[in-house]
Chain A
Amino acid sequence: MTGATPSQTVGPFFSFGLRWLETTELIGPDHAERIVFQGSVLDGDGVGVPDALVETFQADSAGDFRPVSGPDWLGFGRILTGQDGRFGFTTVKPGPLRTSNGATEAPHLTVSVFARGLLQRVITRIYFPDEEVANQIDPVLEMIVPERRSTLVARAADGRLLFDIHLQGENETVFFNC
């Protein structure tokens, strides 16, 4: 085994290197099941993080990934936060996913956040508020102490889904390692 290359921070000055692949529209504007996500990356004082990179990854609405999902679906989002730490993207709800031991994971997106001040990415998941039954038996949500589970479930408001990422503080988002 060869030792892994360690992570280092993305730093503050990445936009000119990474914006070319910015992907805020994972599906076309006319898609019937289009979902608009909005949120902010916030620091321990609740202040927006203007130099964060948010990347999302997910299955398509049938629960498939490439190559099964077809050439037009990457399932990948990349958003550079704005001055106030805000980010937004549009996508579809992924289908439920089977685990290797026969359980079913509730529909979710995985999210990486990179930023100045983060020496490695933080990893989280976004679950859907209208999937209460599926969320209750999701094997990942089940691991988490009940009082923190809500940090992983988006909130519905005005036809959009809101999901803030609190890097630390009272409402710190649940983060994972993998």
Chain B
Amino acid sequence: MTLRSEQADRPAVLTPDPAYNVPAYRSSGKRAPHQPLYPLPLGATERHGPTFGHLSLTDVDADLTRQHAGEPIGERIIVAGRVIDGAGRPLRQSLVEIWQANATGRYDHPVDQHPAPLDPNFTGAGRCLTGDDGSYQFITIKPGAYPWGNHPNAWRPAHIHFSVFGRAFTDRLVTQMYFPGDPLFAYDPIFGSVRDEAARTRLVSNLDLGLSRPEWALGYRFDIVVSGPLATPDVS
């Protein structure tokens, strides 16, 4: 847990975010800031943020299994949840973007050249706007685990990347959703960079049979809670 604000006129907000410099995650070595951060007072720019309600997104944008001529290989899943603030209030018309590896663990990206096949019927990118209750839903393929060069025999647990814009600049969040019970959790320095166990658990989706569609797809629920100071009720 890091202390977010040391300003006397604002309550300190504890965030579960990882530290910047995490030696076990090698890429942070030359990229993590070393100087202490300054607390940014909430000026007009921080209290506003880009809004995307004008975008005309379609069902296909949120259905990663229908973006090509044929169906992708792999386990079809439904991923759904709500985007809310710390008080449980829904964030409406918020843009949610996801991207992920295919069922073999391969990304549709020129730098990912590890020996696993691409799927001509799967790009792995989706987007949608949340509804009035903050809800979103994607249909996709369960991504595979994949090797990376961080340390010998390093493998990332299966995950889906999420990008969320809330109501304000302070709400902006990029994170990763994991799947319950993944045996790779204990070996992954990115998952492990979140030191607080309860916070780490919030990165893991829950199998939800109510969301599942019989004979068709399992459902995983993943709620996203943004922590921007605007979300705190006693901060105006």
A interface residue numbers (CB < 8 A to B) = 1-18, 20-21, 43-45, 47, 49, 51, 55, 57-59, 63, 65-66, 71, 74-76, 94, 97-100, 105, 108-110, 112, 114-123, 139-140, 143-144, 148, 167-168, 172-178
Contact = CB atoms under 8 A, between A and B. Distances in A.
> Looking at A6, A15, A94, which has the most chain B CB atoms within 10 Å of its CB?
A6
Contact of A117 (B30, B88, B125, B173): B30
Contacts of B20: 118-120, 122
13 contacts: A1-B86, A3-B16, A4-B199, A6-B18, A6-B200, A8-B193, A11-B161, A21-B97, A43-B31, A44-B34, A57-B169, A116-B27, A118-B32
A118 B202 CA distance: 20
A124 to B, nearest CB: 9
Most buried by B among A9, A15, A43: A9
A59 B179 CA distance: 39
B172 interface: yes
B99 A5 contact: no
Interface stretch (B41-49, B69-77, B207-215): B41-49
Q: Across the A-B interface, give the 9 residue pairs with the lowest CB-CB distance, nearest first.
A: A17-B99, A4-B227, A117-B27, A76-B50, A117-B31, A176-B40, A178-B40, A119-B18, A17-B125
Contacts of B224: 5
A71 B54 contact: yes
Nearest to A1: B86
Nearest to B25: A119
Contacts of A139: 41
A110 B46 contact: yes
Contact of A45 (B30, B40, B175): B30
Nearest to A41: B31
Interface in B85-107: 86-88, 97-101, 107
Given A4-B227, A14-B161, A121 B172 contact: yes
A18 B125 CA distance: 8
Contacts of B18: 6-8, 119-120
B84 to A, nearest CB: 7
Contacts of A114: 174
A5 B38 contact: no
B161 to A, nearest CB: 6
B202 A168 contact: no
A8 B51 contact: no
Contacts of A58: 45
B112 interface: yes
